[in-house]
Structure 1
């Protein structure tokens, strides 16, 4: 099931190049959607989609720069590498089409593929360029933001007999070929460039991604080439926007973030679908079981809300001006659908009193699933909902004398289905799953994460000194990097700010704090 949030609606317009989000907010889902099902999206259905999913070694990139780009601005090298890689992948995609090369522009593309050895779609960009210029027979030329860039082996081995690859000419040929083949655009979707790295690699990664944004800006005037760049939110915030301007880059970005209302919509939709699939109630039945008296809906408006009424009949019904509402009608539906099965009160563990108490279900849902990035993702809610179903199923199996009945609560009809203790137990069970899942995000840190969780006990606040004292097999630098990693994945949040990581204070967000079983 795919929920179209306000951010996703912006994405579907195909007017933004950069897609930004914290871990779990849906970047990978949108990438796969474009890669595998773009024809289902109006703004992309006539595009040639080209995935670029190369996980680059930043240490290898650093070595390459030191060897072949001595004394020059590394940013220009990164720009050239990106442009070459983007054009190379697009050229390979076009070369696989019937009767290639069938035009002058495609002949230019064919020559480019041969001269640049780019017919091999599996070699890494660094390996490919290194092999080319190591033979001292290739000179790359590009022009990005009106700045000419060249790369040649002559830095170390001067030669007068070099082939020239002018990337601007290649881009023009590709753009023409895309149009000739009947596509609106070639959309290059770029992912797997934002894996967590630290130290020197992190600095290189930031500069490399900044160069990609600059290439995107340079190529924006080409109506037949389109980039979609998927970047982790915390990394995006730390890029250097001095050349492009922060406002300009942000205006070109879609920020994936689920609001509380959208999270409730996701949960309500899952519940509605489950009741419909179980043949318990459909959407119209649930509307009829909902108190809408505060909205003053007339027969005409109820008629428009009925999903069984054909759209053509709804169109002939004249519109009526309405006064502004404090709560949206669909927001009312979402909350009503949730309380059709969830109790109106939930059990909450108060850390200060070390006791459980009851709070409103929407306060519980709105506040208990926030990670260290201040994000609630649909993944968290889905895991929780599955655990609720499992616990409720076990409850009724162990208590066959109890049944769920439709009862009237404050003018709304609701099922007494999900018991408060079942919901609380499901939340505790879900917490364990959240921790296990996040511990596998990066294999490099899996061992340290396992040691951390085994030693933290009920402690909620941490710092560099605690890491050094309790994770003895982790070096000083790795301790700094590990803290940064825990913050990036949302397992920790900063509680005491300081420019020096060794002097910062960190805290577990509520999502990962231990809560006792309810007795």
Structure 2
């Protein structure tokens, strides 16, 4: 029990995870994002965007640049500063521009460039060129006594009217040129004083040249964009994000100032790319998706960290069945699943099926020669072996018939933690591990006579099947309540639909017509369509026949949300 108290699998929230640095994994999408030609990291909730942001902010990982330039990372995730700036500027923008996307663009332009100057101040302390850029920018926004002030002070302590004039920009795009007037409000028909223009392209260009001469590159990292737009009307959220994408696009002309965006998938999919062109955005985007192997690697790394800490760096021997290295991947999961069943519990059908699969694999292997590569992965075998050092080879799960049966542990992690996007996120796995640890500690605290003995395969049965089952139920309930609660207006309707689906004969799906009947006549088809669209992005449903009309549509429900217990809806 004393050793178990030392176990720590980390926390689901990357912002507070104490093991993030020591257990960081540079999976393929992350490695791809760290290259210079990628700028937007898109992922589901809990996929690890903030983890990457934190590692970059703390300089634990770096971007790949072939010129070996000095990297300066400028993290931005304080939505409060942005909202304060936005509120102040919105009140001072001329009425004629308020309906345009330009006000949002102005806020982002001022916010990003000001944060650039703040982030570079230490690097270029005493540099006359930098001081000149900084002072001229502050003067341009109306600060009479420029100095070392922060963004909010710079804006809120000056009185000015902001406006916009649309001009032809680079690459044929129409771009806004902003101005700030410190004089009394100008009448609409009066000419604009050219001296008041916020010549942002000039400021960006001069800062870009300064960085180039210093053999440096500034990476501006923007995370928590869902919090930047929280509490806003849907249309305003969309305009805010569109304006950010336009600002990001404009910064492509300044190669030493690189904007890196961390964007939730559902927010990204709302964007309208018609003004920029999706073909110009997609090549710069990376989808943060964890493969089944990545998830096993994540779990194995956290387990290994704990074992090494307890063993104080001593070597660890793990058991790996050599047969699994040669068995064809097509048959491997089924064979491992059957192997996980104790021999005295195997049915005649299990024995026959196992022999049949082994025979099929044997016949396939006979056709292979020295030029055929393995279909298995030796690293993944090691990850699975590490997992089963402490966890059972098979976990209990509920079948479609609502019966408790065992499922091989790798298959369990690959299938039972996916949302409607059919991907598993680190957050849900770390939450599960945390609950497993709590259940296990509670069990051994109440059963002090129980001891953990190493078995013939070098495994320690620390986490028992009942602990996994209990932890999984907790994860399911929390995930359900979190997702349904994302929209307060639809929360009750979502809970009612899921309660109905959980007790129906087909808990794995619900039809549009069935949901409409269950919610009543007061809900229109458009409202219900928007409801399903929202919760599909959130991970609760997935439409299986989108080409059909609304009444014919079927929405599948992931395993993690099937047959929920009653306490999930309280």
2:158 maps to 1:133: no
From 74, 78, 88, the counterpart of 2:114:
88
Partner of 1:418: 463
Query: 2:209 aligned with 1:176, yes or no?
Result: yes
Alignment match of 1:372 (pick from 409, 420, 438) = 420
Give the Å deviation of 1:186: 1.7
How far apart are residue 504 of structure 1 and its match?
A: 5.8
Any residues of structure 2 matched to 1:362-441 within 5 Å, and which?
A: 362-400=410-448, 402-408=450-456, 412-438=457-483
Aligned counterparts of 2:102 and 2:491: Cα–Cα separation in 1: 38
Residues 445-495 of structure 1: CA distance to partner in whole angstroms, max 9, x if unpaired? 358536753785352437598589759999999876655443332233335
CA contact (8 A) 1:196 1:485 kept: no
Alpha carbons of structure 1 residues 414 and 458: separation in structure 2 relative to 1, 3 Å: farther
Superposition RMSD on alpha carbons, in Å?
A: 4.5
- Change over 3 Å in CA distance of 1:364–1:249 after alignment to 2: same
What is the distance in 2 between the residues matched to 1:499 and 1:88? 49
Aligned match of 1:279 = 311
Give the Cα separation in 2 of the matches to 1:54 and 1:499: 43
What secondary structure, in the 3-state scheme, does the structure 2 residue paired with 1:340 have? helix
Contact 2:484 2:494 in 1 (8 A): no
- Which residue of structure 1 lines up, in the alignment, with residue 75 of structure 2? 51
Structure 2 residue runs without a partner (length 5+): 1-22, 144-148, 180-184, 327-369, 503-509
Question: Match of 1:278, SS?
Answer: helix
1:303-329 alpha-carbon deviations (Å, 9 max, x no partner): xxxxxxxxxxxxxxxxxx996221111
Determine if the alignment matches structure 1 residue 512 to structure 2 residue 561: yes
| Per-residue deviation, 1:394 | 3.7
Which residue does the alignment assign to 1:299? none
Contact preservation (8 Å) 1:468, 1:474: no
Q: For the structure 1 residues 158 and 480, does the alpha-carbon distance in structure 2 shift closer, same or farther, using more than 3 Å as the test?
A: farther
1:230 pairs with 2:278:
no
8 Å Cα contact 2:133/2:203 also seen in 1: yes
Q: Could you tell me which residue of structure 2 aligns to residue 41 of structure 1?
A: 62
1:346 counterpart (356, 375, 395): 395
| Cα distance in 2, alignment partners of residues 106 and 246 from structure 1 | 38
Once residues 117 and 500 of structure 1 are traced to their aligned partners in structure 2, the CA distance between those partners, rounded to angstroms, is 56
Distance 1:65 1:462 in 2: 48
Alignment of 1:76-225 (within 5 A): 79=105, 82-95=108-121, 99-100=125-126, 102-104=127-129, 106-117=131-142, 119-122=149-152, 132-133=160-161, 143-147=169-173, 149-151=176-178, 156=188, 158-159=190-191, 161-162=193-194, 163-179=196-212, 182=214, 184-194=216-226, 201-225=233-257
In the alignment, what sits opposite 2:14? none
Cross-structure match for 2:407: 359
Q: CA deviation at 1:228?
A: 0.3
Q: Would the aligned equivalents of 1:142 and 1:150 in 2 still touch at CA under 8 Å?
A: no
Q: Distance between the aligned counterparts of 1:269 and 1:257, measured in 2?
A: 18
Check the 8 A contact 1:141/1:150 in 2, yes or no.
Answer: yes
2:364 match:
none
Q: 1:497 to 1:97 in 2, by over 3 A?
A: same
- 1:36-87 Cα shifts (integer Å, max 9, x gaps): x12653648932322334646799999998923279xx45665555444422
Aligned length: 475
- Contact 2:497–2:515 under 8 Å retained in 1: no
SS at match of 1:366: helix
- TM-aligned CA deviation for residue 362 of structure 1: 1.8
The residue aligned with 2:536 is 487
1:318 corresponds to which residue? none
SS for the counterpart of 1:372 is coil
The question of whether the paired residues in 2 share the 8 Å contact of 1:49 and 1:186 is answered with: yes
Q: What is the alpha-carbon distance in structure 2 between the residues aligned to residue 79 and residue 145 of structure 1?
A: 18
Alignment of 1:233-312 (within 5 A): 233-279=265-311, 284-286=316-318, 289-292=319-322
Query: Residues 188-230 of structure 1, C-alpha deviation per residue, up to 9 Å, x if partnerless?
Result: 1123334597999434544543443344333224231111011
Moved more, 227-236 or 58-67: 58-67
Match of 2:347 in 1: none
Cα distance between partner residues in 2 of 1:97 and 1:335:
46
Residue pairs, 1:11-30, within 5 angstroms: 11-30=33-52
Give the Å deviation of 1:155.
7.4
Equivalent-residue separation in structure 2 for 1:373 and 1:65 (angstroms):
41
Distance 1:482 1:128 in 2: 43
User: In the alignment, is the contact (CA less than 8 A) between 1:117 and 1:128 conserved in 2?
Assistant: no
1:312 — aligned with what? none
Q: Please, which runs of 5 or more residues in structure 1 have no aligned partner?
A: 297-320
Determine the structure 1 residue equivalent to 2:506: none
Work out the CA distance in 2 between the residues paired with 1:59 and 1:240. 24
Determine if contact 1:451/1:471 at 8 Å carries over to the other structure.
no
Matches of 2:121 and 2:74, distance apart in 1:
13
- Change over 3 Å in CA distance of 1:49–1:457 after alignment to 2: same
Q: TM-score, normalised by structure 1?
A: 0.75
Sort the Cα spacing of 1:481 and 1:248 in 2 relative to 1 into closer, same or farther, 3 A. same
- Do the aligned partners of 1:91 and 1:113 also contact (CA within 8 Å) in 2? no
The verdict on how the C-alpha distance between 1:263 and 1:97 changes in structure 2, with shifts beyond 3 A counting, is closer
Which residue of structure 1 lines up, in the alignment, with residue 29 of structure 2? 7
